[in-house]
């Protein structure tokens, strides 16, 4: 009898934990490539905390960023919409003020919201900030600061940052000391501990400034790589600091006894650009729509719901973070701006599906509406106008010109080496039509059709 009562109490406790709205911690590295983890087989880099995370949750083996650069991808995480829809075409481009962010939605649902680290959605780039101090602090007067986009608290930079940074604490410049990832984690943990003590659900966005160039690692973080070049020591040292920070965040959630019902989502903002090992030997790199530019490491941990670890080959995107978080928390977006380009991944987390209901679009939008575009409709990836992409305009001497349309089966050919377009004309025609229809919808968004007050409706 006592055993049955204990089992019933355990089930009720588990149900109560699951029924409570989950906390959300969104962690993102800056320029970490697909190959830049131990669990993906990097020959030199050591990432014990990321490796443990990958064994503890759902490892999204086919995770893509919405864009091959930082600001656009960050806009997709915030909104669930492709960055082209809001004109966030390239690094340093601002998010559109009218956009509905995950922070705004969760804030209205009673969540405490905090942003820590790199923001890069306020239209500032590099050292062109408005402080008189060295660093990249965002000021309270900035119309696109994290505070204006739904965050209660923020300690944020307008771009990447390294050792001893100057960041904006709720808009006031403040000097910090130490590695940038440690600084970011310190501030995120202060926020998380405060909310856990108050029993309030929280959204904590933790966006590291590493391993973006310039690479400047602490001596202790470089030490494991002492036999490698100085450049590699600094690069791997920065990722080591990111890895340590991931371990600290996960450990704190467990110490605070909130880990079980916290969604912990880790990914990078675009592909790597530190050589073949960084991209995992995929084609292309940061700044391109080839796999090396948009496929990145990603893991989601949520013990209350993802009860058994598994590896998923289902294609997923940073576009999916917003709809997944809203579905998981039950937060309702008032006056949701349409269309959304992402989908909720809860059915995937629950092992109810291994397929994706919507293709993943990519577009290096040009001023004339041209540019390299791609569509991933598993397992096929279509490229249109690829020669316009970075590094593709000049072919090697004697090489044939790049075709206007290319098709790859990336499940069998992840390095995109064997073009199947000639063998699959019907598939090419269908996917091209889908991609063109999506591009037309993006142009409508850019014209303001997503915003009734701007469209005169």
The domain tally of the chain equals 2
Residues 75 and 206: their CA atoms lie apart, in Å, by 15
Residue 244 lies in a domain: yes
Residue 383 lies in a domain: yes
Residue 142 lies in a domain: yes
Q: Would you state the structure tokens that stand for residue 202, as one six-digit string?
A: 């929280």
Residue 406 lies in a domain: yes
Q: Report the CATH number at residue 314.
A: 3.40.720.10
Instruction: Tell me: do 345 and 409 sit in the same domain.
Output: no
What's the domain range around 325? 20-349
- Domain end, chosen from 297, 322, 349, is at 349
Say if residues 320 and 81 touch (Cβ distance below 8 Å): no
pLDDT tens, the chain, 457 aa long: 444 444 444 444 444 445 799 999 999 999 999 999 999 999 999 999 999 999 999 999 999 999 999 999 999 999 999 999 999 999 999 999 999 999 999 999 999 999 999 999 998 754 444 444 445 799 999 999 999 999 999 999 999 898 999 999 999 999 999 999 999 999 999 999 999 999 999 999 999 999 999 999 999 999 999 999 999 999 999 999 999 999 999 999 999 999 999 999 999 999 999 999 999 999 999 999 999 999 999 999 999 999 999 999 999 999 999 999 999 999 999 999 999 999 999 999 999 999 999 999 999 997 566 799 999 999 999 999 999 877 665 555 556 678 999 999 999 999 999 999 999 999 999 999 999 999 999 999 999 999 866 544 4
Instruction: Tell me: do 324 and 429 sit in the same domain.
Output: no
Instruction: Tell me: do 317 and 385 sit in the same domain.
Output: no
Instruction: Tell me: do 308 and 367 sit in the same domain.
Output: no
Residues 159 and 139: their CA atoms lie apart, in Å, by 13
Instruction: Tell me: do 337 and 373 sit in the same domain.
Output: no
How remote is the C-alpha of 356 from its chain's centroid? 19
């Amino acid at each position: 009898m006592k055993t049955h009562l204990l089992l019933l109490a355990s089930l009720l406790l588990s149900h109560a934990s699951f029924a409570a709205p989950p906390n959300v911690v969104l962690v993102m590295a800056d320029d970490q490539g697909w190959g830049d983890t131990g669990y993906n087989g990097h020959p030199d880099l050591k990432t014990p905390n990321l490796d443990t995370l990958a064994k503890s949750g759902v490892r999204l083996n086919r995770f893509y960023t919405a864009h091959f650069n930082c600001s656009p991808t960050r806009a997709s995480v915030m909104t669930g919409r492709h960055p082209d829809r809001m004109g966030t075409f390239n690094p340093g481009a601002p998010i559109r003020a009218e956009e509905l962010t995950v922070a705004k939605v969760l804030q209205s649902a009673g969540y405490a919201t905090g942003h820590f680290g790199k923001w890069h959605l306020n239209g500032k780039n590099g050292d062109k900030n408005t402080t008189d101090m060295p660093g990249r602090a965002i000021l309270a007067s900035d119309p696109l600061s994290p505070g204006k986009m739904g965050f209660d608290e923020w300690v944020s930079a307008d771009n990447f940052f390294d050792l001893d940074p100057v960041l904006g604490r709720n808009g006031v410049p403040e000097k910090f000391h130490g590695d940038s990832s440690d600084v970011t984690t310190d501030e995120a943990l202060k926020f998380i501990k405060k909310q856990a003590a108050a029993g309030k659900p929280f959204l904590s966005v933790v966006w590291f400034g590493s391993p973006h160039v310039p690479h400047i690692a602490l001596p202790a973080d470089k030490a494991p790589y002492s036999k490698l070049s100085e450049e590699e020591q600094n690069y791997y040292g920065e990722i080591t600091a990111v890895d340590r920070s991931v371990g600290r965040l996960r450990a704190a959630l467990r110490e605070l006894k909130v880990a079980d019902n916290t969604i912990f989502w880790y990914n990078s903002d675009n592909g790597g650009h530190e050589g073949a090992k960084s991209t995992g030997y995929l084609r292309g790199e940061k700044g391109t729509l080839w796999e090396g530019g948009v496929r990145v490491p990603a893991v989601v941990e949520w013990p209350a719901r993802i009860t058994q670890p598994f590896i998923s080959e289902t294609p997923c995107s940073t576009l999916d973070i917003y709809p997944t978080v809203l579905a998981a928390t039950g937060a309702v977006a008032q006056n949701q701006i349409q269309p959304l380009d992402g989908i909720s991944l809860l059915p995937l987390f629950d092992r109810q599906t291994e397929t994706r209901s919507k293709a993943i679009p990519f577009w290096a939008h040009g001023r004339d509406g041209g540019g390299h575009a791609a569509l991933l409709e598993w397992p096929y990836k279509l490229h249109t106008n690829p020669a316009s992409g970075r590094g593709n305009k000049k072919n090697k001497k004697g090489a044939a010109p790049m075709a206007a349309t290319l098709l790859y089966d990336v499940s069998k050919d992840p390095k995109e080496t064997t073009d199947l377009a000639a063998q699959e004309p019907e598939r090419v025609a269908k996917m091209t039509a889908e991609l063109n229809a999506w591009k037309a919808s993006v142009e409508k968004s850019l014209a303001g059709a997503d915003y009734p007050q701007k469209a005169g409706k």
